[in-house]
Structure 1
Amino acid sequence: MAFIEPNGGTLARIKVVGVGGGGQNAVSSMFESGKTEGVEFIAMNTDLQALNSSLAQVRVQLGPQKTRGLGSGSKPEVGSEAASESEDEIKAHLQGSDMVFIAAGMGGGTGTGAAPIVAQISKQLGALTVGVVTKPFGFEGKRRMNQAEQGIRELREKVDALIVIPNEKLLEVVDPTMPLSHAFKVADEVVGNAVQGLSDLINSTGLVNVDFADVRTIMQDAGSALMGIGESEGDDRATKAAGMAINSPLLGVDISGSTGILIYIVGDANMTMHEVNTAARIVSDAAHEAANIIFGANIDPNIKGMRVTVIATGFDSGYRPVGIPEMPSITSDEVIKQIDSRFDKVLSDETSDDEIEDTEPTFDDDDDNDFDIEKLRKQVRKDEAERAKAQNENNEEKEEPEKPLEGEKGKSFWNFIKKSKEQ
């Protein structure tokens, strides 16, 4: 892990494009904060009234013929067609960019449908293209969530790297008494922190600076990217902030599976190089030994304490959350067959089919939707643990061989299944 000094060259030309209502709000929030200098902000929307309220320096109305400035009606296909209609104008505003961030809220019409078109144009122009998008809160409904998932799949194919921020995960890191209006504001701030971290990493002159070429090396064609943020004040703040970043609910996975990691550390005027080294070391120690790691550090007198931002890239298609084993796709019928085969070892040979005939369940095509598989797995593990304990006790006493389970014990498994189905 090397410290890279400023090369004295020109600053990278970075543009941040907010697509749709959510993206536009995020851009306005970033612009209003004044934290990201040397960056051009562009708002793109099909809703002309909303677009006119944007604080971005450049505003682009998407699909004026298609939507007549009235929005996309929450239809991604309309957003996509609108962006295609405005392709020449989009291209004109992105021309000459070194790096383009595309901020959008997935699930609506314009952000979901237009963002992939904007990303495709950006990559065609040769810019390093990074998507930073949010997924809806759970209370926004399944339809919006399904549209978001589809939009994310399409956008991932068009960008170099895609950072997805699940709004639902934000609920794990914010004050539970926070008003609803503030929850969406927090989502905008998280998007802003991701953009600010990367742009400052490249263009700001701070304690530690990195070269744009190194950022391109880690971000280009990286696929899925994940972000964690940790903030702390007081004693041992460097250790706490770094620990929070690599264990952030927003990150959600073990960074040891990443091939590229960006670390950006910001602190108040009292932050020391020792604290920077401590935080960076904690993150690098958690990463794979072969991972390409670059980091920058800066002083921001407007914040209290320290903030550590970690962006991990290069996960293969098989990455999964820490501690959750990979599980094959399986139906409830198949689960029952597997568990039944395990119970064959404990069910008595004396237990007849007649004894469990009345309790054996039947299944239909809708079972996958309402069958509590997790509860069933827990019951299986509990029964196996009790059986192992009983066997150990019998072995210690050495009085008599283990007896097979009585018929009622064998039936209890199917009784449990029946009760689960009835709940």
Structure 2
Amino acid sequence: MSDIAQAENFSDKTLIKVVGVGGAGGNAVNRMIAEGLQNVEFVAINTDAKDLLRSDADVKISLSDASSRGLGAGADPEKGAKAAQDHQSDIEEALKGADMVFVTCGEGGGTGTGASPLVARAARQQGALTIAVVTRPFSFEGPRRSASADSGIENLRKEVDALIIIPNDRLLDLSDRSVSVIDAFKTADSALLAGVQGITDLITMNSYIHVDFSDVTAILKDAGTALFGIGSARGEDRASQAAEIAISSPLLEASIEGAHGALLNIAGPTDLTLQEANEAAELVREAIHPEAQIIWGLALDDSYGDEVRVTVIAAGFDAKKGVESYRPADRSDVKVPQLPELHLTNGAVQYAQKPAEENPQPAHKPAAQAPAHPQQAAPQPVQTPVAPVNPVHQPAPQQAPASTAMPSSTTMPAVPSYDDATNEHAAVSRTPRIPDSELGDLDIPDFLR
């Protein structure tokens, strides 16, 4: 057998499965299938029989029983967990043989919140690299759902190698104020798609410098919290601008500063220079921990036109410190695109850009400064002979640190959409490799650019 044939056989052994748990997870799986996410197998798990009937997944697992009668978990995570326990053998059978398993759901409900930790545990016990990509609920869904989501996220965190959280409210912040509730939830589905595709493309795309499954495992195995960003740019300084967008993505729930590991993939046309790639990689290196391990890949294809895309997955944050809850430092020259609407043109995914909001308000007001010197109380004479007492030292109060305002997106105009695709929309492939002729059809959602 030739070396090329052997390499292809080894590549074929990387089996990736995406599991949608609950209603939101099932909707996300349907969106991934509709958008042509390739080289993965899809599994839908739900307690709602009607939702499961609408699923296009390869494998469907009903968690219904005599008590629920296929009507769902009633937003009760305990019911969702109990249903998953009762069907544990079915779940394990569906995940058998997987090298990597993505568990995706919308946190805060019953089935997704309660069952997803058990699904993740089953995948991990079988030796699969297990990554969860979940959403936090919108604020308008109420405090009870938000509290349930917080609890579910913590339970899920214990069962996965890496956890990526997408806050739905950030999607609203980037959307037009007139966006409907239905469109808001569709946008959440697209965000889950982007989180999964951002990692699977690193492994499945034919690349000049390839990021393989072992590279992804080195960064994401037992990583805990992970963050991802995708950026795209054209024209002058396209590579560095795309990298800036990726590391400053509005969908990042926190800063990537402090990450000890990062996966970096740079994709662009064949005229992409080594200097451009180096500039993009250097920006990512400067944004994370000084001693971080960076594994990078390079995909060259003229179907990108003048566009350069940068995908970053950061992980390995200090467990004691945790992921910082602040945004990255202000980079006023970064171009961050507004959330676009999704369209299909000649079978290719296209996005219409939204205008940036004018006159944004800073995220925080600077804290008032404390006086430099505290006032000292006047000494009082001693009236009776008593033993001398040493005066208590009064330290000067610490000056309150000023909060750093979140960088505004008004100085960051949108990046043009990639519109060079002319082929028919690719059908969902169940084969483990992507034919070279179809690579041009893959597109990454522009709202993360």
The answer to whether the superposition gives a TM-score over 0.5 is: yes
Look up the match of 1:230: 231
Contact 1:18 1:42 in 2 (8 A): yes
Give the Cα–Cα distance (whole angstroms) in 2 for the partners of residues 348 and 231 of structure 1. 62
Farther-moved stretch of structure 1 (315-324 vs 105-114): 315-324
For the residue of structure 2 that corresponds to 1:194, the secondary structure is: helix
Please tell me the residue identity of whatever aligns with 2:24: G
Q: Please give the alpha-carbon distance, in whole angstroms, between the structure 2 residues aligned to 1:323 and 1:49.
A: 41
Report the equivalent of 2:138: 137
For normalisation by structure 2, the TM-score amounts to: 0.68
For 1:302 and 1:24, locate their aligned partners in 2 and report how far apart those are by CA, in whole Å. Answer: 31
Give the AA of the match of 1:15.
K
Name 1:257's counterpart in structure 2: 258
Per the alignment, do residues 381 and 254 of structure 1 end up closer, same or farther by CA in structure 2, a change over 3 Å counting? closer
Could you tell me which residue of structure 2 aligns to residue 386 of structure 1? none
- Listed as ranges, the matches of 1:37-186 within 5 Å are 37-186=38-187
Match of 1:321 in 2: 325
Shift of the alpha carbon at 1:66?
4.3
Give the RMSD, CA atoms, in angstroms.
3.1
Give 1:342 shift. Answer: 7.3
| TM-aligned CA distance change 1:180 to 1:196, over 3 Å | same
1:409 matched residue in structure 2: none
Contact 1:18 / 1:102 at 8 angstroms: preserved in 2? yes
Amino acid at match of 1:322: Y
Residues 344 and 205 from structure 1, CA distance in 2 versus in 1: closer, same or farther, beyond 3 angstroms? closer
The CA deviation at 1:19 is 0.4
Of 289, 305, 308 in structure 1, the residue corresponding to residue 307 of structure 2 is: 305
Could you tell me how far 1:144 is from its partner in structure 2? 0.5
Alignment of 1:339-418 (within 5 A): 345-346=374-375
For CA contacts below 8 A with separation 6 or more, give which structure has more relative contact order: 2
- Describe the SS at the equivalent of 2:11: coil
Asked whether the equivalents of residues 64 and 72 of structure 2 are also in contact (C-alpha less than 8 Å), the reply is no
Structure 1's 345 and 20: CA in aligned 2 closer, same or farther, altered over 3 A? same
Judged with a 3 Å threshold, the aligned counterparts in structure 2 of structure 1 residues 268 and 67 are, in CA distance, closer, same or farther, namely farther
Q: Which residue does 1:334 correspond to in 2?
A: none
CA distance in 2, matches of 1:187, 1:203: 24
1:375-400 Cα deviation digits (max 9, x unpaired): xx99x899xxxxxxxxxxxxxxxxxx
Measure, in 2, the Cα distance between the counterparts of 1:120 and 1:290. Answer: 31
Alpha-carbon spacing, 1:247–1:195, altered in 2? closer, same or farther (3 Å): same
Q: Does structure 2 retain, via aligned residues, the 8 Å contact 1:63–1:84?
A: no
Deviation for aligned residue 1:284: 2.0
Q: What amino acid sits opposite 1:205 in the alignment?
A: N
| Deviation readout 1:26-48 (Å, 9 max, x if unpaired) | 111111101x2210011111111
Question: 1:293 and 1:381 mapped to 2: Cα distance?
Answer: 33
**TM-score normalised by L of structure 1:** 0.72
Distance 1:129 1:52, change over 3 A: same
Within the alignment, does 1:221 sit opposite 2:250 as a pair? no
Deviation at 1:282, TM superposition (A): 1.7
Residue of structure 1 in register with 2:334 after alignment: none
Q: Say if 2:25 and 2:105, in contact at 8 Å, map to a contact too.
A: yes
Asked if 1:207 corresponds to 2:208, the answer is yes
Question: Which one-letter code corresponds to 2:142 in the other structure?
Answer: G
Structure 1 151/52 Cα, relative in aligned 2: closer, same or farther at 3 Å?
A: same
Query: What SS class does the counterpart of residue 251 from structure 2 fall into?
Result: coil
Q: Could you tell me whether the CA contact under 8 Å between 2:235 and 2:306 is conserved in 1?
A: no
Contact 1:159 1:221 in 2 (8 A): yes
Letter paired with 1:24: G
SS of the residue 1:16 aligns to: strand
Mapped partners of 2:99, 2:147: distance in 1: 33
Q: What is the CA–CA distance in structure 2 between the aligned matches of 1:279 and 1:105, rounded to whole Å? A: 33
Deviates more, 1:66-75 or 1:268-277: 268-277
1:388 alignment partner in structure 2:
none
Deviation at residue 315 of structure 1 after TM alignment:
1.0
Q: Residue 25 of structure 1 corresponds to which residue in structure 2?
A: 27
Alpha carbons of 1:269 and 1:189: their partners in 2 closer, same or farther (altered >3 Å)? Answer: farther
Q: What CA distance in whole angstroms lies between the structure 1 residues aligned with 2:162 and 2:69? A: 33
**Maintained 8 Å contact 1:242/1:308:** yes
Larger fraction in helix: 1
Q: 1:286 to 1:381 in 2, by over 3 A?
A: closer
Q: How far did 1:176 drift?
A: 4.2
Q: Which runs of 5+ in 1 are unaligned?
A: 1-5, 325-338, 351-376, 383-423
2:68 aligned partner, one-letter code? T
Considering only CA atoms, is the larger Rg found in Structure 1 or Structure 2?
A: 1
SS of equivalent residue, structure 1 residue 255:
coil
| Aligned equivalents of 2:57, 2:129: Cα separation in 1 | 21
* Residues in 1 aligned to 2:181 and 2:78: alpha-carbon distance in whole angstroms: 29
**DSSP 3-state at the match of 2:60:** strand
Question: Percent identity, aligned pairs only?
Answer: 45
Code of the residue aligned with 2:31 in structure 1: it is: S
Give the partner amino acid of 2:326.
V
Instruction: Quote the offset at 1:175 in angstroms.
Output: 4.0
